[in-house]
Amino acid sequence: MAVKTGRGDAIRENSVLTTLLEAGGPELTSYRGYVGRSEKADCIRLYPRLADLGTSFEIRGADIVHVEQIPDAFAPFGASLVWVGPDADVASRVEAVATRKAAATDANAVEVRRGRIRMVRRGVARDVVAAGPGENCASYCQDCSSQCEVCMSGCTCY
């Protein structure tokens, strides 16, 4: 039975909302980004920003409940909104390039590049750890300038 306005016009339910409520409603989690190819079979890689291709989510196709294209006015170049169920196995990945830089004043100087930013830090170069939802992400830096928004948890600096 359709609900009608005072003028007699029918009010239609939103089809996307109906689909999401039937699939689990509040228990679903959404990810916004650009769908890319994964190295794993039956998975996609979702990049939240085209400006930072070192950050991505690995999502199994079987865990995806619904996908909608985001209009270009809100996210240009074909972004998608992907909903996954509560038991979804989603891994977040953060990749950064760290190289040793020879310096006369500090033999432990490390050059780190993240996107267009280039930093020179003191300390030992270690790999950046990728953490999944509910896990801590570690930055292994003395000044802890980490991008933990993708980890969905608090940061821990070592």
- The string of pLDDT tens digits covering residues 54-72 is 899 999 999 999 999 999 9
CB 156, CB 136: distance < 8 Å: yes
Nearest to 141 by CA among 120, 150, 132: 120
Q: Is the pTM of this model over 0.75?
A: no
Question: Average pLDDT over the chain, rounded to whole?
Answer: 76
Number of H helices, E strands in the chain: 1, 13
d(CA 20, CA 24): 6
Among 60-64, 132-136, 139-143, 150-154, which is the least confidently predicted range? Answer: 150-154
Q: How far out from the chain centre does Cα 99 lie?
A: 25
What Rg do the C-alpha atoms of the chain give, in angstroms?
Answer: 21
Mean pLDDT confidence for 106-119:
69
